[in-house]
Structure 1
Amino acid sequence: MNIKMKFLDRYLTVWIFLAMALGVGLGHLFPAIPENINAFSIGTTNIPLAIGLILMMYPPLAKVDYTLLPIALKDKKVIAISLLLNWVIGTVLMFALAVLFLRNEPDYMSGLILIGLARCIAMVIVWSDLAKANREYTALLVALNSIFQIVTYSFFVWLFINILPNKLGLANFNVRVSMQDVTKSVLTYLGIPFLAGFLSRYYLVKSKGIEWYNGKFVPKTSPITLYALLFTIVLMFSLKGDKILELPLDVIKIAIPLVIYFVTMFFVSFFISKSLNVPYDKNASIAFTATGNNFELAIAVAIAVFGIHSPQAFVGVIGPLVEVPVLILLVRASLYLKRKFDNP
């Protein structure tokens, strides 16, 4: 079956640029808009933004069949490889690239680290399908990553932002992140949609059946992630009009380590799994799960902890803008490797 990428997903980078431009334009032309957006706040939580962030996370978490986790856990080799790539190699690689390229700009550096710690649970399904990976294993690895993120993300942020930079003696790095704030953000922006997704799947499958759920409900709700992401970007950039002239160079500055990360993670993942004789379909599932990142979570945590105007939040927005074109090219690379190495 030849699976094609949906129109909205294929041109996601274009939509993100347009959303950024629309946000900046609205902020400049209608100064009252940013004031009205800020008016809808409770404490440090902006209500429209919180709604957008939670809606971003819900569809991918509602897609996952968590009842299949026990099956995945039986394949200890695949699970071990995936956990190693996602939670050791991936996090350390992004940390190293952040230090290498952005150590003199600690806010951008910490934003990039937040991305590296947020493992992919959304677009990876698209990349895996396009690369003819094993969709069941992709879903299982996504389920595993979802649960692992809820449990460990706060600790990893504390470790990689508060502890390691000091231990390594990095200069000009005085960013501090409250573990309590991160935990609160994760429980809000990942915990709420995780629970909603789990309950939606459980009760709707029970009442309507799995075929209706996968054939009707999932296709109807999936675009919500993109719409909510674009809504969030418009809100964010309507408040950032004063910095627009600085952004193009900053986008390039952030994009370079991201491109290196995506390409390196994919090929390292693919060839590690291949050396362990993992079949192509499972190998591709592991590789794309390890390569992509959960930008929705990174954006949510950055906004909740550092603020909507923060450089960290800006880095989070640049993430999917870079990821989409690079991952499309990596899908092609994966299919080439399949033809070269896979024995029919």
Structure 2
Amino acid sequence: MSVRQPQPAAPAGRLSFLDRYLAVWIIAAMAAGLGLGRLLPGLGDGLAKVTVTGVSLPIALGLLVMMYPVLAKVRYDRLDAVTRDRRLLVLSLVLNWIVGPALMFALAWLFLPDLPEYRTGLIVVGLARCIAMVVIWNDLACGDREAAAVLVALNAVFQVLAFGVFGWFYLTVLPGRLGLEQTALDVSGREIARSVLIFLGIPLLAGFLTRRLGERVRGRTWYEARFLPRIGPFALYGLLFTVVVLFALQGDAITSQPFDVARIALPLLVYFALMWAGSMALGRAVGLDYPRATTLAFTAAGNNFELAIAVAIATFGAASGQALAGVVGPLIEVPVLIGLVHVALAVRHRFPQPVAAPKDTVRA
């Protein structure tokens, strides 16, 4: 039985056609979404009418399709090895809930001192921590799938408990102490819990049950060698569909307010670069191997844009500057983190490599 380690990606010649040209498909999906949004002015309103926790139903479906195959690949019997790594867990919480929100707050005020709506929207994005697309970036970069599942779940639970408190602190208490403009954020723990349950709980449960039942009925060899390769491409199909819908929803706003979008994009670019590079460097400094350092970096740099958009719309309205800033978040995050996937793979040789997996396991 062969063993595949969660480390260097296959050479370009052995990658699937979809994986090899992913950057091209992402750009094409963005262009298609923008084109649809401009050619069909009522499309955005139509897509936005039916929502799940404030997020357009097509986006919600795309996210669920995108996350399920990756979570079906997770070896749930290995999760205890991750939960015993207290260093990884503590670093993730510190990066996600101390460094990340503070950095976004600083960048929002530095780059958008004269645009309070966009500034508030960016701070909300910074408070909405990693779920959803993070598992895709981590998998593409050959990160540790089991560690990603644990860190995403850990931060999701912490998000339910802390999002409202952190929103109050960064939008009311801290600005007041610094003599800056204050903003109120009205969001309940129930709304956050519902968002986490839908966008993380459903695909996580589906992935767990699929592996459990598949291995029990047909065996691990069939599950790893036959089933997973069949469902694997649907993660990227879901990603591309989600990108098309996102750009279609905001096509008119993006093309009619390009300068505003550029103003919002600049601090986001700085944020993603600093969070990812700093987390990756920190992982290497404390001796994490490549897969876990990569997982730490992507879970720290990624954001829960579904929650950020839902909170912005529910609190400030769908046509608000805060909502636009929330939407620009994933529009910048997608191409930037795709680029960082390639950077991660290029520098993987500088990190310790993982210890070989036991001989009786297979990694798909």
Query: TM bucket by the smaller chain?
Result: 0.7 to 0.9
Contact 1:61 1:121 in 2 (8 A): no
Measured in 2, the distance between the counterparts of 1:304 and 1:231 equals 23
Q: Indicate the structure with greater helix content.
A: 1
Deviation at 1:229, TM superposition (A): 0.9
Among 240, 251, 259, the residue aligned to 2:261? 251
Matched residue, 2:234: 221
C-alpha offsets along residues 198-257 of structure 1, whole Å, 9 cap, x if unaligned? 3333333433444444433431431342244135325523xx74x455421122112111
Matched residue, 1:174: 183
Among 151, 155, 162, the residue aligned to 1:145? 151
In the superposition, relative to structure 1, how do residues 68 and 265 fare at CA in structure 2: closer, same or farther (>3 Å)?
same
- Counting only pairs closer than 5 Å after superposition, residues 261-280 of structure 1 correspond to structure 2 as 261-280=271-290
C-alpha offsets along residues 249-294 of structure 1, whole Å, 9 cap, x if unaligned? 1221121111111221223223323332333443333223322334
- Counting only pairs closer than 5 Å after superposition, residues 201-216 of structure 1 correspond to structure 2 as 201-214=211-224, 215-216=228-229
Among 236, 246, 265, the residue aligned to 2:249? 236
Among 146, 165, 168, the residue aligned to 1:162? 168
Measured in 2, the distance between the counterparts of 1:130 and 1:37 equals 29
Among 33, 42, 45, the residue aligned to 1:19? 33
Matched residue, 1:96: 106
Q: Which amino acid aligns with 1:26?
A: L
Matched residue, 1:321: 331
Task: Give the aligned CA root-mean-square deviation in angstroms.
Answer: 3.7
Matched residue, 1:64: 74
Q: Which amino acid aligns with 2:78?
A: L
In the superposition, relative to structure 1, how do residues 290 and 279 fare at CA in structure 2: closer, same or farther (>3 Å)?
same
Q: Which amino acid aligns with 1:117?
A: L
User: Identity of aligned pairs, percent?
Assistant: 38
In the superposition, relative to structure 1, how do residues 148 and 280 fare at CA in structure 2: closer, same or farther (>3 Å)?
closer
Measured in 2, the distance between the counterparts of 1:290 and 1:39 equals 32
Q: Where do 5+ consecutive residues of structure 2 fail to align?
A: 1-9, 355-364
Contact 1:130 1:331 in 2 (8 A): yes
Contact 2:70 2:136 in 1 (8 A): no
Secondary structure of 1:264's match? helix
Q: Which amino acid aligns with 2:232?
A: P
Secondary structure of 2:77's match? helix
Contact 2:156 2:196 in 1 (8 A): yes
Contact 2:48 2:249 in 1 (8 A): no
